[in-house]
Amino acid sequence: MRDIESYSREYHALPFEATQLAFRRRLVLEQVSLQAPSTLLEIGCGLRPLFQDLPAALEVTVVEPSAEFAAHARELAGARQGVEVVQGFLEDVPEPLREGGFDFIVLSSLLHEVADPQALLQAVRRHCHADTLVHVNVPNAYSLHRLLAVEMGLIEDPFERSATQQRMQQHSTFDLASLGALVASAGFQVQDSGSYFIKPFTHAQMQTLCDSGFLTPAHLEGLYGLARRLPGCGSEIFVNARLAHV
């Protein structure tokens, strides 16, 4: 079982994660904007719940297992109407969270961290209606920095769990094929997929380069855009999926 409070502490200390989060968040918000949903479920919000950057008219429910992160989300929500924060694991929360399901469900940087990703996806299904779009993103086994590590002899296989993955209680490593297959096996049909933000080095190395001034904001923007020229090599991958209709 995951130690959520230990995870929260490690999350605070993880170098470069704030920058990685910013680009991950940009991608998610782009996907939400394309769909223009009326209702949204965010599963695991961390320190920056999406509702901070979403239209006030959009009704948002957040399910967050960490007591610290859930309390922080409630504080950020304040008196804002249309935001509900539920502490707990999605698999355990009372149902339904919303009668009729949600238009858009965000499973951001989470599926690789759970011991049973299939169970989590089945829990997601219970909150879908026929047209719900589910956005899933996870780290990419074929990220440029992992491929470099293989060529340097630091790891034998891009799917090998790194020390950071072990410390952050991350159970799985995916590429686009395996992520798509898992989502499909849970009864979803992938609508589109891709990778984003080319990361040549580890989190710690990227942070050192940023702190030294070697990597500038312009470089980071370039690395985000570079994923279009190096498809499949981004540091993280995503799929957008809907329920498969038999």
| H-run or E-run covering 78 | none
Q: Render pLDDT for 168-210 as a digit per residue (tens, 0 to 9).
A: 555 689 999 999 999 999 999 999 999 999 999 999 999 999 9
Q: Render pLDDT for 22-43 as a digit per residue (tens, 0 to 9).
A: 999 999 999 999 999 999 999 9
Given this model, what pLDDT does residue 246 score? 54
Given this model, what pLDDT does residue 6 score? 54
Q: What are the tokens at 180? A: 């798509």
Residue type, position 189, single letter = Q
- DSSP state string for 91-148: TTS-S-SSTT-EEEEEEES-GGGSS-HHHHHHHHHTTEEEEEEEEEEEEBTT-HHHHH
Q: Are 181 and 237 in contact (CB under 8 A)?
A: no
Given this model, what pLDDT does residue 94 score? 79
Residue 7 has pLDDT above 70, yes or no: no
- Give the CB-side neighbour count of residue 172, counting CA atoms within 13 A: 18
Cα separation, 214 vs 237, in Å, equals 26
Q: What is the mean pLDDT of residues 50-61?
A: 97
Higher pLDDT, 74 or 3: 74
Domain extent for 39: 4-243
User: Residue 160: which pLDDT band, with cuts at 50, 70 and 90?
Assistant: confident
Residue 1 has pLDDT above 60, yes or no: no
Cα separation, 223 vs 79, in Å, equals 38
Q: What share of the chain is helix, strand, coil (3-state, %, to 5)?
A: 40, 20, 40
Q: What is the mean pLDDT of residues 113-135?
A: 96
Given this model, what pLDDT does residue 5 score? 58
Lowest-pLDDT range, 38-47, 101-110, 158-167?
158-167
- DSSP state string for 39-76: EEEEE--TTS-GGGGS-TTSEEEEEE--HHHHHHHHHH
Residue 57 has pLDDT above 80, yes or no: yes
Given this model, what pLDDT does residue 11 score? 53
Residue 245 has pLDDT above 90, yes or no: no
Q: Number of folded domains in the chain?
A: 1
Cα separation, 74 vs 7, in Å, equals 20
Residue type, position 160, single letter = E
Mean pLDDT for the chain?
Answer: 92
**Alpha carbon 73 to its chain's center:** 17
Task: Please list the residues that pair with 62 across neighbouring strands.
Answer: 42, 85
Residue type, position 180, single letter = G
Model's pTM, two decimal places?
A: 0.90
What CATH code is carried by the domain that includes residue 147?
A: 3.40.50.150
